[in-house]
Amino acid sequence: MTKVAVTCTHLIRDIDGYRQSFADAGLDLVLPDVPGQELAGDELVAAMDGIVGVVAGDDQFTDEVMAQLPDLKVISKWGIGLDGIDLPRAADRGITVTNTPGMFGHEVAEQGLGYLFALVRGIVDVDREVRAGGWPKPVGRSIGALSAMVLGLGDVGKTLSTKLQALGVTVSGSDPSPAAAEFGATNGIAIGDAATLAQEVDVVMITAPLNNATRGMVDAAFIGAMKPGSWLINVGRGPIVVGSAVADAVESGHLAGAALDVFEIEPLVDERIRNLPNMILGSHNASNTYEACHRTHERAIANLIDNLP
């Protein structure tokens, strides 16, 4: 039988509902131990021994790893981000790589909105102070009075933009794709340079993928040019934002606050970020709803089975 593996922790959690799909396709299912969020290096090589196809999470399929996996023919990525896979070298090695776009645009957008409400109304800080015996009355901002720039106008960014507009937020966006320009023209959203737009808005919300153009893009210079007293929210990819620069800006008061669902290194190890006030910290969990996970499970499994040799 053809051996396939699942290393995506969300699917491993729910695997009992999907074992039959693998059995019906005549596949021998292997579930490696994934102690954290992902596998990399020697751990990933060991887990992929004899594996022909895998439903992968955020595992790091580097060229060095794939060179040691002669049997591997299909990587079905659970989710959108392919930054952990060396795509050119996978193609050179005859490995088919798929992902699952359009599966959780609403869910990640909803998480971004949740962070926005929590930041501008001080919800998390009030909760902490009340639990400590206080009774604070912070002055917040009305959502409909705000302006926001959405960095990255793929499925998540487009969905977030329309939800923001429904709340009365003035929305601009930054994305180099022709589709983004068309979306902006159709929906009354100004499209422009991210660093320029960031100087003019109350909130910068990041939904972009990680690539060579976006890695480290939101650095000290970018944040320093943002409007004083503005907020930063990242539900895109962690390495887009330089964490130390965010911490400096929050600590100095240049940023009124920040919400980070993702980080440069995960799980978060930066004690300074952990202990700063006016920051809300997530656990790379924006897409993790019952509905989104099950629709993505089905798509990722189908992608795997359809592309096996």
Instruction: State the pLDDT at residue 5.
Output: 98
pLDDT in tens, 209-244: 999 999 999 999 999 999 999 999 999 999 999 999
Whether 266 is catalytic? yes
Task: Tell me the C-alpha distance between 218 and 287, whole Å.
Answer: 22
Instruction: State the pLDDT at residue 130.
Output: 98
Whether 64 is catalytic? no
CA distances from 114 to 15, 83, 101, 261 (A): 29, 26, 22, 11
Instruction: State the pLDDT at residue 290.
Output: 97
Instruction: State the pLDDT at residue 118.
Output: 98
CB atoms within 10 A of CB 13: 11
From 10, 38, 110, 284, active-site residue: 284
From 93, 266, 294, 298, active-site residue: 266
Instruction: State the pLDDT at residue 63.
Output: 98
Task: Tell me the C-alpha distance between 152 and 281, whole Å.
Answer: 21
pLDDT in tens, 112-143: 999 999 999 999 999 999 999 999 999 999 99
Q: Scan for tokens 């998390």, then name that residue.
A: 124
pLDDT in tens, 237-261: 999 999 999 999 999 999 999 999 9
Instruction: State the pLDDT at residue 209.
Output: 94
Instruction: State the pLDDT at residue 249.
Output: 98
Instruction: State the pLDDT at residue 305.
Output: 98
Q: Scan for tokens 């808005």, then name that residue.
A: 201
**H or E element, residue 259:** strand 255-260
- Looking at residues 95-115, what average pLDDT do you find? 97
From 237, 264, 297, 299, active-site residue: 237
pLDDT in tens, 40-72: 999 999 999 999 999 999 999 999 999 999 999
pLDDT in tens, 258-302: 999 999 999 999 999 999 999 999 999 999 999 999 999 999 999
- Looking at residues 195-199, what average pLDDT do you find? 97
Q: Please give the model's pTM, rounded to 2 decimal places.
A: 0.93
Instruction: State the pLDDT at residue 114.
Output: 98
- Give me the phi and psi of 280, to 5 degrees please: -115, 130
Instruction: State the pLDDT at residue 251.
Output: 98
Task: Tell me the C-alpha distance between 225 and 193, whole Å.
Answer: 13
Q: What domains can be seen in the chain, in order of their start residue?
A: 2-101+289-307 (3.40.50.720), 105-281 (3.40.50.720)
pLDDT in tens, 139-196: 999 999 999 999 999 999 999 999 999 999 999 999 999 999 999 999 999 999 999 9
CA distances from 243 to 32, 72, 124, 170, 175 (A): 32, 35, 20, 27, 22
Whether 284 is catalytic? yes
Residues contacting residue 252 through CB under 8 Å, at least 6 positions apart: none
Instruction: State the pLDDT at residue 148.
Output: 98
Its sign, for the CA torsion 61, 49, 75, 44, is negative
Amino acid of residue 103 = M
Q: Is 102 left (phi over 0), alpha (psi -120 to 50) or beta?
A: left
